[in-house]
Structure 1
Amino acid sequence: MILFPAIDLKNGQCVRLEQGDMARATVFNLDPAGQATSFAAEGFEYLHVVDLDGAFAGKPMNAGAVEAMLSAVTMPVQLGGGIRDLRTVEAWLGKGVARVIIGTAAVRDPDFVKAAAKAFPGRVAVGLDARDGKVAVEGWAETSEITALEIARRFEDAGVAAIIFTDIARDGLLKGLNLDATIALADRIAIPVIASGGLASIEDVKAMLAPRAKRLAGAIAGRALYDGRLDPSAALALIRNARAAA
C-alpha cells in the first residue's frame, strides 16, 4: 500500500478544494516545489499532483510549478489535470513525470486512453471521480450518466496502471475515505485501485491496511496532511510495518 501526498495546483500555488469547488480553495503553500521537498523529507515515496486549472481548461496550465517539482524531488510523480491528447502525455512523460492520470478523456475518448496505455505501458492511470456513483468530468463541473465501474471495465485489458477513485462528496472535507465503494470497485476489476477523497486521520490508514482492503493499491492524502491531522511519520511507520509482516 502506497500513501500518496497530494499537491493540487491553482494559479501556481498549492491549494486544497472542498468537493472540487474552485471557489472553495484554501491556499496552503505558495511554493509547490518546496512542499514537494517537504513531503520527500518526511519519507513519502510517490507524489500525487493535480493541475486544477488544467482540468478546467483542458490543457496544462501550471506547467512551471510541475516542472519545478520534478526538478526538486527524485521520488516518482503522478500527474493529472488537462491531459487530453497523446502529445500532452508524451510531453509530460518526457519531462520526468512517472505516470499521467487521464480523467475527462477516459469518459469522452476511451480510445485515446487505450492508445496512450499501449504506447506507454504502466505509465497511464485513469482518474474516476464520482458524485452519487456517476463519474464527473471537466474538473468535476459536469456529471456524466456513466458509473465508475462501467468506465473502469472499458480499460480492463488496455494496460492501464491504476484507477484512482475519488468520492467527490468527501473530497477535502475530512469525512474519511469511502472504502465501501472503493473496495466494491476494486473487487470487480483487475486494475489496481487507489482510494481518494476524504482521508482524515490515522484511522483511515489503518482501515486501508485491514484484510478487506487488501486489493487496494494505495490512498491519497491531502488536507489531513496540511491540517496536521495525519502524522506522516506515524502513517508511514504503520505501512512499513504492514509490509514487513506480509
Structure 2
Amino acid sequence: MILYPAIDLKDGQCVRLLRGEMEEATVFNDDPAAQARAFQDAGCEWIHLVDLNGAFAGEPVNGAAVEAILGAIDVPAQLGGGIRDMATIEGWIEKGLSRVILGTVAVENPDLVREAARAFPGKVAVGIDARDGRVATKGWAEETDVMVTDLAKSFEDAGVCAIIYTDINRDGAMQGPNTEATAELARAVSIPVIASGGVSSLDDLRTLKSCGASLNGAISGRALYDGAIDLKEALDVLKG
C-alpha cells in the first residue's frame, strides 16, 4: 500500500478542513512547495494535492502553488479540484502532473472521464466523495442521489487508473476511516481504490491494510501535520 500525504490548497496555503467546511480551515504551512519537498525527503512515493478553491470555483485557482510543488519534487503527484474540462486536464499533464482526479465531472459528464482516460492512459483517476453512501459534488457542497458503488462500477471499462474514495463525515475529524465502506467498494470493482478521510493513527493504516480487500493506498493529512502519525513509521507499516 502507498501512503499519499495530502496537501490541500486554499488561498495558496497548505490547510486542512474539518468535514469539508471551508470556514473550518487550519493553516499548516504557507509554503506548500516546501511541505511537498519535506514529504518527499521523508520517503513518500506520491503526493496528493487538492485545489480546494478550485473545487468550488469549477476551475483551477491555486495553479501557482501546484506548479511550485511540481517544480520542487521528483516523485509523482495527483491533483483534484476544479478539473472539469479536457483543456485543464491536458494542461496539468503537460505541466508534469502524473494523475488528475476527476470528481464532479464524473457525475455530471462521465463521457469526459472516458475521453480523458483514453487520451491519457494511466493518468486519470476518479474521486468519489460521499456522505452516507451518496456522492457529493462541487467541493462537497452538493449532494446527489448517486450511490458510490454504482458510480464506481460505471467506470469499470473506462481505463480509469484509480478511485479515490472519501467519506466526507470522517475527513479531518481524526475519527478513523470508514474501512468497511472502503473495503466494500474495493471488492465491488477491479479499479484500484485509495482510501481517504479520517486516517488518524498507525492503527487506522494497519486496519486498512488488513481489511480483506486489496487497497492501492491511503491518504492522510491532518494526522501527519498534527504528529498523530509518525511518517516514517507509517511508511514502514504500509510497506511491511
- TM-score of the superposed pair, with normalisation by structure 1: 0.96
Report the equivalent of 2:201: 201
After superposition, where does 1:10-159 map in structure 2 within 5 Å? Answer: 10-159=10-159
Instruction: Please list the CA deviations of residues 75-116 of structure 1 after superposition, one character each: whole Å capped at 9, or x if unmatched.
Output: 000000000001100000000000000000000000000000
| Worse overlay, 230-239 or 31-40 | 230-239
Q: For residues 146 and 220 of structure 1, what CA distance do their matches in structure 2 show? A: 23
Q: For residues 216 and 78 of structure 2, what CA distance do their matches in structure 1 show? A: 14
SS in 2 for 1:163: strand
Report the equivalent of 1:223: 222
Q: Do the aligned partners of 2:202 and 2:237 also contact (CA within 8 Å) in 1?
A: no
Report the equivalent of 2:237: 238
Q: For residues 204 and 31 of structure 1, what CA distance do their matches in structure 2 show? A: 28
Q: For residues 233 and 51 of structure 2, what CA distance do their matches in structure 1 show? A: 29
Q: For residues 162 and 237 of structure 1, what CA distance do their matches in structure 2 show? A: 23
**Count of residue correspondences:** 240
SS in 1 for 2:175: coil
Instruction: Please list the CA deviations of residues 173-216 of structure 1 after superposition, one character each: whole Å capped at 9, or x if unmatched.
Output: 01101110000011011111000000010001111221613x11
Structure 1: unaligned runs, 5 residues or longer: none
Instruction: Please list the CA deviations of residues 4-32 of structure 1 after superposition, one character each: whole Å capped at 9, or x if unmatched.
Output: 00000000000000000001000000000
Q: Do the aligned partners of 2:134 and 2:143 also contact (CA within 8 Å) in 1?
A: yes
Structure 1 vs Structure 2: percent identity of aligned residues?
A: 58
**Gap change, CA 1:200 and 1:211, over 3 Å in 2:** closer
Structure 2: unaligned runs, 5 residues or longer: none
Q: Match for 1:163: what amino acid?
A: I
**Gap change, CA 1:211 and 1:81, over 3 Å in 2:** closer
CA RMSD, 1 decimal: 0.7
Q: Match for 2:189: what amino acid?
A: I
- Runs ≥4 residues deviating over 4 A: none
Q: Do the aligned partners of 2:16 and 2:221 also contact (CA within 8 Å) in 1?
A: yes
